[in-house]
């Protein structure tokens, strides 16, 4: 029998990496759309601020301070959401980690940390939420990937490899959950003004011997066909669209939002 994707209003969401940046903005936009939002991150102070802003909107928030690289942490976070709201409708895997290291000087520590958070933790979160959604026969999962997953970036290989893993997990999870009415898609945002992006580009400038950081940033921005970097709010709008409004026949898809950098 074909999967029946129900007409339902998602109300219970879990957002990872929500202490700031894109994760916080996604949480706030979902709250404005009437969702109860569980937010998780290793940064408890940042989560408290995100929860405060959600409260100002008048929505419910659940703070889960957690290191998703620890075994069982993603599953425990999903369990907390289910315990509070008796289910989970939305999972946004936004948490990410990456460092600049020339490929020939790459360290085991950086590789394992990057893959632990960006790949293993994401897969375990998809599994845990997917099992609940399978029983509900409804739900949407959105994974944050990167244009870099399809680029050769020798100073950033652990990160780009991890995002290629996200692409693969998204496809596999989508096929596994499709018979149960659950949609799994990904979003690949380009350059935007987040703390992680700024830190990465500062390290990249140093690795390439570029002392004038602003000139380096301007040069990278000029490579974007639209001629500017993305606003965090507009990237979050695309994530929320995938969570709430995307067509019910859309699954296993990668939505590019890079201003024309990623053209596939």
| Catalytic residue IDs | 159
E strands present in the chain: 12-16, 36-41, 61-65, 90-93, 139-144, 182-189, 254-257
DSSP symbol at 20:
S
List C-alpha distances in Å: 82 to 122, 133, 163, 213. Answer: 18, 11, 28, 45
Core vs surface per residue 225-245: b (16+ CB within 10 A) or e? eeeebbebeebbebbbebbbe
CB 92 within 8 A of CB 235: no
């Amino acid at each position: 029998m074909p999967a029946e994707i129900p007409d339902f209003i998602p109300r219970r969401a879990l957002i990872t990496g929500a202490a700031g940046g894109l994760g916080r903005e996604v949480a706030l936009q979902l709250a404005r759309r009437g969702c109860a939002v569980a937010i998780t991150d290793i940064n408890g102070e940042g989560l408290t601020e995100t929860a405060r802003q959600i409260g100002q909107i008048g929505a419910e928030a659940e703070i889960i301070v957690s290191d998703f690289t620890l075994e069982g942490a993603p599953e425990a976070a999903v369990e907390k959401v289910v315990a509070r709201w008796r289910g989970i409708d939305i999972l946004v895997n936004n948490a990410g980690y990456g460092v600049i290291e020339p490929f020939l000087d790459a360290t085991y520590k950086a590789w394992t940390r990057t893959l632990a958070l960006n790949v293993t933790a994401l897969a375990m979160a998809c599994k845990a939420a997917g099992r609940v959604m399978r029983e509900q026969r409804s739900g949407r999962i959105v994974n944050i990937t990167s244009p870099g997953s399809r680029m050769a970036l020798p100073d950033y290989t652990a990160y780009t490899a991890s995002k290629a893993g996200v692409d693969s997990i998204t496809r596999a999870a989508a096929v596994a959950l499709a018979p149960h009415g659950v949609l799994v898609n990904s979003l690949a945002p380009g350059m935007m003004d987040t703390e992680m992006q700024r830190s990465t580009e500062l390290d990249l400038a140093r690795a390439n011997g570029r002392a004038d950081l602003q000139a380096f940033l301007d040069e990278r921005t000029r490579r974007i066909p639209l001629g500017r970097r993305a606003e965090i709010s507009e990237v979050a709008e695309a994530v929320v669209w995938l969570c709430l409004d995307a067509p019910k026949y859309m699954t296993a898809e990668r939505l590019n939002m890079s201003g024309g950098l990623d053209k596939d």
